[in-house]
Structure 1
């Protein structure tokens, strides 16, 4: 048995209300951060996605060098890592501790040799250094509060402009960089500052909803753009590749396109009416795609030549994926995340760019489980103590509250849903509770077939119950696990049951004989989060908190496929997306697929 890495479906950028989120671009690629991951995706080739997980702490900003060979990414501890994106191995070029707090922004110079990183440090707010050695290339001084943004002139003589919460912009000469002057044009926080590609001008935007233009060489203020102003904080700006236009993204939920020469508004795009539609980041790619980031994480891609709406909207999880399931009737899977959202995606189309948002009201808290019926319906549970039904492209309006916090969900015959909760197990049909079991043990996982329901407990045992459509009757107890039973899965024909636990051990049981088949599926070193069987019932995949995915063989229990480090931060869900295609999802919000080959 062997595996090969296949498609990767990325997460979307993380956002924070009231703060600017920095997006970077190089050629047709955009780069952004979410959690500890750095994501590089190609807008012209959706299948070309790269993720980097070398940071120990949450990342805040990433920029690709002008040469296109390296990426510099920074995190909340003030660490900048420079790594190779030209090769497959993502070799680390250097790691530098630049400030003593969160890095808010960083920028490369035009020669891809020097980097300026700025943010919220205790002793200083910015640092200029060589990318290959980390040695200092000047001083970033002149601010009294956190620096939100930095931009460097791409041509010699180099200049650097920094924007801060102290409502000032500091203009530096370089390199080496040294203080030149303080520019006091804004009256509130300055959120972003960007140089034009030609280096002739730079622009600044701020919480005072104002836009200013400056001379790129001298830092002289050229004037303010006052035509058709924004009505809220402007969070980001970006220049067109031809230097003639500027785009701004604001908290008033609009994106505006400006002609630099006439200082007039050319186009205004309005996105939605909620807090989630506030625009907090932007970048303009060399391929002439304007990308603006919504608070919800949606990447809105505009074409400046056509339309009053985004040409396309790229959706994706913003938080950890906590549950996922494949729908049997279509080449689609559902992914639920820690913020309560559930998104759908078709996995058979390698060219697909984006997830789709389910219609209707979803969960208000973490999605703790999703299960699908043979008819194609899906049922989800969340920490908002609700069971929701998903049919087609949206949620069914009717909602069934659960008696206590739900932990696991399974679907039996006639779309009867079994929910393992903190206080017991409920059987629910058509949003009506038809049976409630209150066992002496604490339930932790559930699985179901046509006639049997398996309930795992925190007492390390699995109980089998017969289901007659009205009540559960206990028929057997299976033992062998060494920790809380955390995942259960029946084989498609119902003859075998895999039980994973919090110690990383998986026990395979024969249901008819009520005995153990093997206890040798024990290579995981942490909690088993998910189990998934192949259609023929000969192989079972497991995903664990230890970041690994294993594919086990029933006929040869000692043989397995080990996909090491399949999900940075831990794997929370595995599912079979067709014959020989395995998908795994987890803490970094990304879904990775693997082509599995079963040798005879």
Structure 2
């Protein structure tokens, strides 16, 4: 399957569709049927995407961020473009498509409400001391987690926007990625320091599970297979599966 004519930079997927972005500033929506892919539709978003997010409950809705703007898509149509005066590094959209969190080079998280084609900034959260590298909502949407280049992760309460889990400072280098377990009880982080760390939301951060030396050169991707199984991908071109044993 090849639909992009350039290197793919990021992608998202739902059951019957794959959405990709590349260095040509285009977003491709590719329908899937079994092991076959259909004809792709594309749209130019006016810049290279640094994050591509689908609202899981409404996958026709997508939020794309570039260094200098936020783009809302409905299927393959741009419905709004919002320019910003800060440098965007990553973003995440809530499963129902009503809220987005945008991370920036200045270490701040900006919360936006979404209504139709309108974005409204609701809050600015300041806790991080480095550029934001990853943001993800929990599956139950009660929380979101953020990570930064200064090796810290934070879990936030979605409703109050207060810190829910703090002192997540056990990596020794930049955090590249994070992921939630399906039951929203665990959050995992992967770092340039070669380690993955798993935190339980209802316990102090110090009770973490650390997977040392998960990948030579650093961990660049994480996902939970189920509530007790974590998959990691790294600089060493390997994918590893870990069974988590609670302490």
* Structure 1 match to 2:54: 411
* Structure 1 match to 2:174: 527
**Change over 3 Å in CA distance of 1:396–1:464 after alignment to 2:** farther
**Change over 3 Å in CA distance of 1:578–1:480 after alignment to 2:** same
> Structure 1 residue 517: deviation in Å?
1.7
Q: Deviations over 1:277-321 (max 9, x none)?
A: xxxxxxxxxxxxxxxxxxxxxxxxxxxxxxxxxxxxxxxxxxxxx
**Change over 3 Å in CA distance of 1:538–1:588 after alignment to 2:** same
Give 2:11's match in structure 1, choosing from 370, 380, 402. 370
> Structure 1 residue 596: deviation in Å?
1.3
Give 1:441's match in structure 2, choosing from 70, 75, 86. 86
Rg comparison, structure with higher value: 1
Does residue 385 (structure 1) correspond to residue 20 (structure 2)? The answer is no
> Structure 1 residue 467: deviation in Å?
1.1
Aligned residues: 239
RMSD (Å) for aligned C-alpha atoms: 1.8
Larger fraction in strand: 2
Task: Report the Cα distance in structure 2 between the residues aligned to 1:384 and 1:454, rounded to whole angstroms.
Answer: 25
* CA contact 2:68–2:85 (8 Å) conserved in 1: no
* CA contact 1:368–1:382 (8 Å) conserved in 2: yes
* CA contact 1:368–1:407 (8 Å) conserved in 2: yes
* Structure 2 match to 1:397: 40
Q: Deviations over 1:29-64 (max 9, x none)?
A: xxxxxxxxxxxxxxxxxxxxxxxxxxxxxxxxxxxx
Matches within 5 A, 1:395-544: 396-412=39-55, 413-415=57-59, 416-449=61-94, 450=96, 451-544=98-191
Q: TM-score of the superposition, structure 1-length normalised?
A: 0.38
Q: Could you say what secondary structure the match of 1:588 adopts?
A: coil
Give 1:591's match in structure 2, choosing from 229, 239, 242. 239
Q: TM-score of the superposition, structure 2-length normalised?
A: 0.90
Q: Deviations over 1:561-591 (max 9, x none)?
A: 1111111111111011234221111222221
Task: Report the Cα distance in structure 1 between the residues aligned to 2:18 and 2:157, rounded to whole angstroms.
Answer: 28
Give 2:212's match in structure 1, choosing from 564, 567, 571. 564
Gaps of 5+ in 1: 1-358
> Structure 1 residue 519: deviation in Å?
2.4
Q: Could you say what secondary structure the match of 2:72 adopts?
A: strand
Q: Could you say what secondary structure the match of 2:6 adopts?
A: coil
